[in-house]
Amino acid sequence: MLRREAGSSTVHREVKPLREKWREHWEKRHEVLAPSLERANRWGTGLFWGMYLVAFYIAVFVLLPHYKHEDDGYVPLIMQIGFLAVEAALNWWVTFAVRSPVPREAAAGGEVEDGLPVGWKTCVICQLNIPARAHHCKVCQSCVLKRDHHCFFVGRCVGFRNQRHFVVLCFYVAVGLLYLAWMESGYLAEPFHHWENYLLLPALWDWLWGGVSLEDCLVLAHMYASAFFGLVGLAYFLWEILLLLSGTTSHEITHGISRYATGTLWHRFRSVMGDYGVVQFLVPLPFLSQPGNGIDWEQRAALAKCH
Mean model confidence pLDDT for the chain = 81
The distance in angstroms from the start CA to the end CA of the chain is 36
* pLDDT classification of 267: cutoffs 50, 70, 90: confident
As a whole number of Å, the CA-based R_g of the chain is 26
Whether 50 shows a pLDDT value over 80: the answer reads yes
pLDDT tens digits, residue range 109-152? Answer: 555 555 677 778 888 888 888 888 899 998 888 999 999 999 99
pLDDT tens digits, residue range 186-224? Answer: 888 877 777 667 677 676 777 677 777 778 888 888 999
Q: What is the mean pLDDT of residues 263-284?
A: 87
How many Å apart are CA 158 and CA 265, to the nearest integer? Answer: 21
Whether 301 shows a pLDDT value over 70: the answer reads no
Catalytic residues: 151
pLDDT tens digits, residue range 17-39? Answer: 555 555 555 455 555 455 688 88
How many Å apart are CA 142 and CA 160, to the nearest integer? Answer: 14
In 10 A of CB 58, how many CB atoms?
21
pLDDT tens digits, residue range 63-119? Answer: 888 887 665 667 788 899 999 999 999 999 999 999 998 887 655 555 555 567 777
The predicted pLDDT at position 258 comes to: 75
Domain residue extents for the chain: 14-304
| Cα separation values, 94 from 166, 224, 286, Å | 9, 28, 7
